[in-house]
Amino acid sequence: MFCYSTVWSLTREYTLEELAHLSGKDKTTVFRSMQKLTSIGVVIKNSRTIPRGGYYHTYNLSDIENIKKISMERINSTHEGFLQLLDQLVSDINARINPEI
């Protein structure tokens, strides 16, 4: 798995090659991790044009307040899911203990 501590140390835009070198991981591993982190908003992906044609992507850490907001939303969502699961479990147990005849 990609070393997420590498992500937290991003101070500028990095290419996949640079991130792979920094983390000691394969480029494909870093790519999958960056896709995941980009999809949830923790990392920002930018496209850069090469003057002679083509392009490449760079990755940068999102704003810390945005990361905090995303994290809190996920924590709250997970917490709500656990509460619903617990309510359902209690309901199922009560139905087995006190079956309505």
Backbone angles phi, psi at 11, to 5 degrees: -115, -5
Please state which CATH class domain 1-62 belongs to.
mainly alpha
**pLDDT surpassing 60 at residue 75:** yes
Q: Is the pLDDT of residue 16 over 60?
A: yes
Chain segment 81-91, per-residue pLDDT in tens: 999 999 999 99
**Would you say 7 and 42 are in contact if contact means Cβ atoms under 8 Å apart?**
yes
Whole-angstrom Cα distance, residue 7 to residue 11? 9
Task: Report d(CA 31, CA 42) in Å as an integer.
Answer: 14
Closest to 42 measured CA to CA, from 13, 14, 25, 63: 63
Are residues 19 and 26 in contact, defined by beta-carbon separation less than 8 angstroms? no
